[in-house]
Structure 1
C-alpha cells in the first residue's frame, strides 16, 4: 500500500475494507478502492495510474475492479478538457444506493416474516416466537426500519436536488 495512507487511518481503512467485503460482497481489491475513495476522495478524483501506484497491483486486476465498481454505479469517471485520462471519483448516489439496498433487504425480510407467521397461524403450527411476543417485536423493528430508511432516502435525494 502507498505511503499516502496515514498511519492513524490505516486501521480505519482496513476495517472499512473488510466491512465492504463482508457486508456487500465486494471483491478485495474493489473494497480497497472503494474504501480509499471514501476516505481520501476529492472532487478531482484519481487516475488509473494513481491507483496503480497506491495499490501496487497488476493493470488487469485494477481494471477489473474499477469496471466492477463502475457497473455497480459506486464510482464514476470524467475526462478533463486538457487530458485524455479518466478521473475516477465516488458516484454522488452511492449513499442513497446503499440505503436502497438495505431498504430492499428489510422489506423482503418483513414480507417473509409476515408470510411465514400467517402460514404457521393458518396451519396451526406451533410458533414459540409468536407466543412469546418476540416475533411481534421483530416485525415492529422491521416496519420501523423500513419506514426510517425510506424517509432517509427521500431526504438525501431532496438535498441532492437542491444542490444541483
Structure 2
C-alpha cells in the first residue's frame, strides 16, 4: 500500500486497520480502505483508479469494499463538475456516525440490562454476579456515558453546521 506519508504512518495504518476490522467487524480490505480514508482523505477524495493503485487489488475486491463502506455511511463520493469520475472520501459525518453507533449500542445495553435485572428480581434469581447493586452501578455508568455521548454528538453537529 502506498500512502502520502508512507514511512510516517505505516505502523499507524496497520494498527488502525486491524482495530477497525476487529472492533467494527469490517472485512480486511474494507478496514484498510477506511483506515486509509481516515489517514489520507481530504475534501477532494480519491478516484477509483487512484485507490486501485494504492491497494493493488482486483477491481472487484475494491469495488465491493467501497460499496460496503458506502452502504454503512463510512465513505461518500462526490462528482466534480469538470470530471465524469467519482471521488471517494471519508464521510463528512464520520465522527457522528461512530458516536451514533456507540449511542445506539449503549441504549440497547440499557434496555436489555433493565429487562434482565427485572427478570432476575421477579424470579428471585439474583446471584453474586448479578447482584442488584452491581447492576445498578453498571446502569448508572451506562446512563452517564449515554448522556456524555449525546452532548458530544450535539457539539460536533454544531461545529459541522458552522463549517457548512
> TM-score, normalized by length of structure 1?
0.93
Q: Aligned Cα RMSD in Å?
A: 1.5
State the match for 2:15 in structure 1: 15
> TM-score, normalized by length of structure 2?
0.93
How much has 1:3 moved relative to structure 2? Answer: 5.8
The whole-number CA distance in structure 1 between the counterparts of 2:132 and 2:71 is 45
Q: Which runs of 4+ in 1 moved over 3 A?
A: 129-133
The whole-number CA distance in structure 1 between the counterparts of 2:43 and 2:107 is 34
C-alpha contact 1:130 1:136 (8 A) present in aligned 2 = no
SS of structure 2 residue aligned to 1:89? strand
More off after superposition, 2-11 vs 12-21: 2-11
Q: How many equivalent pairs are there?
A: 164
Is residue 24 from structure 1 mapped to residue 24 from structure 2 by the alignment? yes
How much has 1:89 moved relative to structure 2? Answer: 0.9
Using a 3 Å threshold, how does the CA distance of structure 1 residues 132 and 82 change in structure 2: closer, same or farther? closer
C-alpha contact 2:126 2:132 (8 A) present in aligned 1 = no
In structure 2, list runs of 5 or more residues that go unmatched.
Answer: none
How much has 1:114 moved relative to structure 2? Answer: 1.2
The whole-number CA distance in structure 1 between the counterparts of 2:126 and 2:92 is 48
How much has 1:134 moved relative to structure 2? Answer: 2.4
The whole-number CA distance in structure 2 between the counterparts of 1:42 and 1:126 is 53
Using a 3 Å threshold, how does the CA distance of structure 1 residues 5 and 163 change in structure 2: closer, same or farther? closer
